Amino acid sequence: MSSHHDYIIEITAQHDALKPFAPENGQPLRFKISDAVIFTNEYGAHFRCRVTGLYRPTGLSGMYARGARYLLDSSSPWMPVAESSLRPDDPA
């Protein structure tokens, strides 16, 4: 692969061909805006958050092609996260 742009084109093409994530695969998104969730980062740390928006890029996006759909009220509210890193926050 010769550049980051080529990589984005490749993973976007894979996404478009396989449609592995909601809503493109015909399944609804699991969470909606204002839902309380627990976000687990790549190191296994858990954070209580709320969904503040849905990530809908207008152009090519490697993050979207890899499943990032949700924006959270976190320390990085601009960084979308994948549904696989979220679970409902069911207060006891």
- Write phi, then psi, for 25 (nearest 5 degrees): -85, 5
| Cα distance between residue 60 and residue 77, in whole Å | 20
pLDDT in tens, 32-81: 999 999 999 999 999 999 999 999 999 889 999 999 999 999 999 999 99
Sequence-distant (6+) residues with CB within 8 A of 69 are 21, 22, 29, 54, 55, 80, 81, 82, 83
Amino acid symbol at 80? P
pLDDT tens figures, 5-31: 898 899 988 988 889 999 999 999 999
Pick the CATH number of 4-88 from 3.40.50, 2.30.30, 2.40.230, 2.60.40: 2.30.30
